[in-house]
Every structure is written in C-alpha cells, then in structure tokens.
Structure 1
Amino acid sequence: MNKSNTIIAFLMLVLTAHTHAQEINPSEVTKIMEKVANWQIDNFQGLYSGHDKPHHPLDWTNGALYVGMVKWAAMANNDKYYEWLKDIGQKHEWQLHSRKYHADDHTVGQLYIDLYRKYQDKAMIEPTKEQFNFIMYHPSQSSLHWNTPFHQDRWNWCDALFMSPPVWAKLYNVTGDKKYLDFMLTEFKATTDFLFDKKESLYYRDENYMGKLDNGTKIFWSRGNGWVFAGLVNVMNELDPQSKEYKYFLNIYKKMAAKLLKIQTPEGHWAMSLLGQKFYPTPETSGTAFNVYGLAWGINQGILDKNTYAPSVKKGWNTLISHVTPEGMLGYVQPIGAAPGKAWADKTEVYGTGAFLSAGTEVYKLYGGK
C-alpha cells in the first residue's frame, strides 16, 4: 500500500470511529436519564459543589432541577418521579419561595403548574396565581441598573429569564387570562433591550459585565446564556406559534441558535466564556446541556434545519454523557456563580441535572424515541 493510500485508510478509520462514537440510540438516552435522575434523588441533600448546607427545596437551584425532572417524569414508565415531585409541593403547601418579586424564587412555580396539568388539583397553582396577581397590581418601580434599590425585584440579570417568565407563560396557558402573558412580555422586552448584545446575539449576565473584556473578549457567561436559551423554549412551548408573542421570542431564539452553532467547541461543549474558549478549555455541562436542549427542541419543532444543527446536538450530547459517572452523577457542573469560572469532574449541582434531563427529553425525540 503506497503512502497516500495509507493516509486515506487511516483517515477513514478515524472518521468511522468518530461517527460510531457519535451515534445516539433513544433507548440508551432513557437509560442514562434514569440513572442520572435516580442518582440525584438519592443524593438530593448532598453537598457536591462547595456549599455548606443543602439548598432549600424551593430554592431556584432545585427549581431548575424540577423543570427537568418533571419532563423526565412524563417519559418514565412509572409514577415514581411524579410522586417524588408532588411530595415536595405538598410539604410546602404549593408556595413559591420566600421573596415575593425575585425571579429565582418563582422558579418552582413551573413545577406546580406542570403537576396541576397532570392532577387537575387547583390547590397546586392557587398560591402562584395569588402572588403573581399581587405583582401585576403592584409592579416593581425599580430600575434595571445594578446596585440601585431593590434592583432584583425586576429581571435585570439574564438568569431570571429562565426562572420567572415560563411561570407567567404557563399560568397564561392554563388560565386563558392574557394579563399574565402581557405582563411577562413587557418585562421580558425591557430586560432584553437592556442586556442583549445585538452584534453578538448573546446576553450579558447583568450590567456589571457590559463594556468589560476578559482576555480581550466580551464576557458572555455560558450558563447565563443557557438559562436564557432554555427559558425561551419553555416560554414558546406555552404559546400559539402563530401569535405575535411567539414570534417575538422565536426571533431571539433563532439569533441565539445561529450564534451557538458557530461557537461550540470542537469537543462538543460550550466554553464558560462563550467567546473565549481558548482561555476556558475546561468542560462545563450545565450551560452545554441547556444549549443541547434548546437546539434539539428547535430541530424537533421544524424551526432549525436538521442537517445544519443535528451534528451540534450529537457532539453536545455525547460530551455530556461522557461526564456522567458510573453511579449517575453529572460532573463538570460549574458551581453557583455569575461569570465564567472553573468546573471539576467531581463537582455537580442540582440545576445541572435539571438541564441534563431537559436535554435528554429532546434528544430522545430527535433520535426516534416515541
């Protein structure tokens, strides 16, 4: 065999091995989702990311877990996961967390409304309706500028767009009362006008990161933009695709999807600083999982071209599952923060599990799961 043929044969071998490694089987997706979900339930009070006590069950961290867990519950072949989630709501009398206006403390409302859809028990959503009615009739007058009084009573950090807007959209959907949608849209637009960089099609985490550079690049936090991207999907899932409101969110979603496609790392994850992958080579699974969720959803909805975007989903999903331990812990989840940082193979967080389970539901559909 001459030298050129040897090179061609070698390249074909590498390509074949790479393709095989990337193949996704829907039954394998469900197996690893179940393993991750079970590990998280078994270790719900565990401390795997440096904090000194377990998160409150109604904290935003767990709220994000529940967003993914309830999606998995709908796929699972028994009601174990629904029962676990329902027990949490019952123990806390279906209340949101402690801060009335703060978006983080609204997150658990997404779970309550999804459980209401299954069980049709109005008690599950009445406290959320009551609190959101109060907010609508006593809207915060705070500025979106950081370090102004009561500034987080509005959505002036990008994470908030995952936490609260989907609750408003779900409440609109289950009640048919458009006042919830109108209020949410007004606030979402205000936040987007403030934090969205039109040139980069990405969101600043908050005002503190505008105009600052990290190693010469603008600072766009991976998980922060993952919060937004997944939040857009969770909002659009509640809206009529022909409505003007849906089209507003879809426009942002498409811009972000196109950008995310361009900046995915060769390994399949997204760098903690989205434009600075050279300076942040460590994998990070929470932002990556949210992006995989959003991109797979777009393909499944016929919004994104499958030939263009499916390879990105494949790479992303395969890198995610490579960081799941044999026991079912998802590693390389960046600890709680607000900016690019560090992640470790033996560190996880409940919101990372929630993101992974959300991603799995759409990857499962994309590769033929019924």
Structure 2
Amino acid sequence: MYSVKEISVSLLLLFTIFLSGCTTKKDVVQRASVSKEEVLQVLQSTNAYFMQKWPDTGKPIFTTRWRPSNIWTRAVYYEGLMALYAIDPDERYYDYAVDWGMKHQWGLRNGTATRNADDQACGQIYLDLYEIDPQPERIAAIKKNIDYVMQSEQVDDWTWIDAIQMAMPVFAKMGVMFKDKSYFDYMYAMYAYTKEKEGGGLYNTQDKLWWRDKDFVPPYKEPNGEDCYWSRGNGWVVAALVRVLSLLPEDEAHRNVYMQDYKDLMAAVLKAQRADGFWNVSLHDASNFGGRETSGTALFVYGMAWGIQQGFLDAEIYRPAVDKAWRAMAREAVHPSGFLGYVQGTGKEPKDGQPVSFSSVPDFEDYGLGCFLLAGAEMYKLIARGK
C-alpha cells in the first residue's frame, strides 16, 4: 500500500510532466527555427552565385538549343529576386531586374499575340517593376497580350498545371492595377477549365492534388500503382494560389474557391513530406526516382510559410514541416559556392531531368533558385514576425 503522501507526490509529478508536454510544443517549434539573419545570408549567397555567373541579363540560354532569357525559367528566378529585394532592398537587385526587362525591350518571347503561358511569365516581373517606377513601356506588351487573349474568349490555354503559375498572377495583378474585375473573371474561367475540364479535369477532388497534364490522368499509374502527382507541378499551383490570393480583394467573387483549393493542397502535400524534410519528385511514389528534390520542396515551403503568416494555416501543424524543410535545403542543398543542388531539370514527370543529386547541374539553373528565393523570403518574414 502507498501512503497518501506518496500518492500525492506521484500525482504531482505526473501533472508536472503533463504540463511540460503541453507547454513545450510551441517552444520546440521556436527552438527549431533558424534566425532571419541566417536565412538572409543563404539567400544572398545563392543569389550572388547566379548574378556572378550571368552578368549579362540579355544573354540567351543554351541547352539543347538557344532560347532568349525572357522565358519562363528566368522569369521564375526574377520572381524570387523581387521577393529577396522586398526583404533586402539592395539596389543591385532592382537594377539587375530592370536591365533584364530593358534588354528584352519589355517584350514577350513570341510577341503580343502569344497564348503560351511560358511566354507570359515575364509579365509578372514587368508589372512589379512598373509599380516601383511606372514607366508605360514596362507593361505595354504584357497588357496588349493579355487583352488580346481575353478578346478571344478562349479559355483552354492552360493545358498543363505549370501554366497556372506562369500566367494566372499576371491576370490578378492587372485586375488590381487597372481596377478592372474582368481580368479576375477571365482568370477564373481559365483556372476552372484547367481544373475541371482539361483532360477530364486535372484536379483530383479526392486526393486534393493535381495531375500535371492529361497524359497523367488515370488510367495512368506510377510503378507502385498510385496516381502520378509531380512534386514541382503541384508546387507551381501552390505558388500561383499564393501569389493570386496575395493580390485579390477580399470580396472577389472566386477568392473562396482559391482559398479552399490552397488549403486542401497544403494539407495533401504535408502528408507526403519525407522524413529528412524534402519532398520526392513523385509525391505518392518514393520508388519512382525518389530522393531529395529542391524546387518542389522550396515551393511547398513558400506556400506553407506564407499561409502561417497570414493565419490561414495552423502554425502548430505546419511550422515543424516548414522548419524541417528549410533546414534540409539550407544545409543539404546549398554548396559553399552558392550553387543549389538537388534541383530536377525541366520536364513534366519524375523521370525527366534525372539524375538529381547534390552535384548534378540541371539544364536551367534559374528557376530552382527562384523557387528557393521565394521560400527563403517567406521564411525570413515568418521568423521576423514571430509566427
């Protein structure tokens, strides 16, 4: 038999342990976080590597052939650079972006009659730079192009989910800038077509994830029998939704649809995170070219960090995943030189752009860095705001 005193001491000890467990969860999250100074340092390092490698912003890019440097890959880099500029207002960043626009005469790769979202991606940067210094030539071509698309009343351009990120924020930005909701309405019509009609609908309402294009809609399966959800492809949708929701007025007619899709996608992605913090190139099949991949991981960090800041995502649920992913990228993917490893090259599925390793060089180095800069800028703000 135990005495009353012994029982009381035991109960007190158990209660103390219980309270400790309840009160340390947030503390553990906070202790796991890096400092904003550390985040900024790694962003500056990786960006310096790229700017030094590409001093001429107008130089064409050569892989299997020559391409102008105002294509989507470089546009994504400049999205990241503008995010870095917002937290670290170094005039060199702004000048580098302006020089890029000027070298291309603020134009689109295939002119103002293009319907290709990959051509329109540069418009996101042109619009950002116009807001800083409203010189009409900066947005003349992108406005003419988007107005041309809208006049056609054709809404089936985005036949692959990457296109949502490349073009959708342009419509949102123009709707805000010109106070014209027709841009919002047309943007939604295009988004809804891709989501619900293209290839039977590229969004899986059950898994809350997106097939990259109609080639991957069932009956297509991964080697393990699961649906093929490409990491970076779903990351592009995350980035598009974040950028659009950051711009849209609270009373915009379809904002709630975008918000629900964003939250559902973040929850689905969270379940697929690897134990080491990265995500695989195939979200539901780690056996199909599995391993660390930086670009998709960075886009998911971007989306989660932003959502925590805005109060759309529960910090207790998502912050550990964000911290784990950011630490993994910063410690395991960044070379001393600033080169970014584990970036899958261009493509549309897990087998493309392989092999992916610490030292592998993707066919384009720019978009992976852009994704990383977007993620890091949101990490910086998250830490700075004490979220």
Q: Does 1:360 align with 2:371?
A: no
**Mapping of residues 1-370 of structure 1, within 5 Å:** 22-44=32-54, 51-52=63-64, 55-98=67-110, 100-140=114-154, 154-193=157-196, 194-211=201-218, 212-215=220-223, 216-322=225-331, 323-341=333-351, 342=354, 343-346=356-359, 347-348=361-362, 349-368=365-384
> How far, CA to CA, are the matches of 1:97 and 1:45 in structure 2?
20
Is the CA contact 2:288–2:350 (under 8 Å) kept in the aligned structure 1? no
- Aligned CA RMSD, in angstroms, stands at 2.2
1:245 to partner: Cα distance: 2.1
Larger radius of gyration: 2
Q: 1:112 to 1:139 in 2, by over 3 A?
A: same
Q: 1:45 to 1:195 in 2, by over 3 A?
A: farther
SS in 1 for 2:90: coil
Is the CA contact 2:72–2:166 (under 8 Å) kept in the aligned structure 1? yes
> How far, CA to CA, are the matches of 1:234 and 1:279 in structure 2?
30
Q: Identify the residue that residue 148 of structure 1 maps to in structure 2.
A: none
* Residue type of the alignment partner of 2:68: H
Is the CA contact 1:65–1:354 (under 8 Å) kept in the aligned structure 2? yes
Q: Identify the residue that residue 8 of structure 1 maps to in structure 2.
A: none
> How far, CA to CA, are the matches of 1:102 and 1:139 in structure 2?
15
Q: 1:232 to 1:20 in 2, by over 3 A?
A: closer
Is the CA contact 2:126–2:138 (under 8 Å) kept in the aligned structure 1? yes
**CA deviations over 1:102-129 (Å, ceiling 9, x no partner):** 0111000000011011112222111111
* Residue type of the alignment partner of 1:197: N
Is the CA contact 2:228–2:282 (under 8 Å) kept in the aligned structure 1? yes
1:93 to partner: Cα distance: 1.4
**CA deviations over 1:156-214 (Å, ceiling 9, x no partner):** 10100100000111111111111111111111011111200111111100000111111
Instruction: Tell me the percent identity.
Output: 33
**CA deviations over 1:336-355 (Å, ceiling 9, x no partner):** 10001331222242100000
Q: 1:113 to 1:50 in 2, by over 3 A?
A: closer
1:23 to partner: Cα distance: 3.1
SS in 2 for 1:270: coil
> How far, CA to CA, are the matches of 2:45 and 2:93 in structure 1?
12
1:45 to partner: Cα distance: 7.9
1:40 to partner: Cα distance: 1.2
SS in 2 for 1:334: coil
Is the CA contact 1:69–1:81 (under 8 Å) kept in the aligned structure 2? yes
TM-score of the aligned structures, taking structure 1 as reference length: 0.87
> How far, CA to CA, are the matches of 2:338 and 2:170 in structure 1?
29
1:52 to partner: Cα distance: 4.2
TM-score of the aligned structures, taking structure 2 as reference length: 0.84
Q: 1:84 to 1:369 in 2, by over 3 A?
A: farther
* Residue type of the alignment partner of 1:187: M
Is the CA contact 1:60–1:108 (under 8 Å) kept in the aligned structure 2? yes
Q: Compare 289-298 and 120-129 and name the one that shifted more.
A: 120-129
SS in 2 for 1:137: helix
1:55 to partner: Cα distance: 4.5
Q: 5+ unaligned residues in a row in structure 2: which ranges?
A: 1-27
> How far, CA to CA, are the matches of 2:97 and 2:158 in structure 1?
27
> How far, CA to CA, are the matches of 1:116 and 1:318 in structure 2?
35
* Residue type of the alignment partner of 1:318: R
1:140 to partner: Cα distance: 3.5
Is the CA contact 2:242–2:306 (under 8 Å) kept in the aligned structure 1? yes
Q: Compare 165-174 and 51-60 and name the one that shifted more.
A: 51-60
Is the CA contact 1:22–1:318 (under 8 Å) kept in the aligned structure 2? no
> How far, CA to CA, are the matches of 2:109 and 2:338 in structure 1?
28
Q: 5+ unaligned residues in a row in structure 1: which ranges?
A: 1-17, 145-153
SS in 2 for 1:217: coil
> How far, CA to CA, are the matches of 1:55 and 1:287 in structure 2?
24
1:54 to partner: Cα distance: 6.2
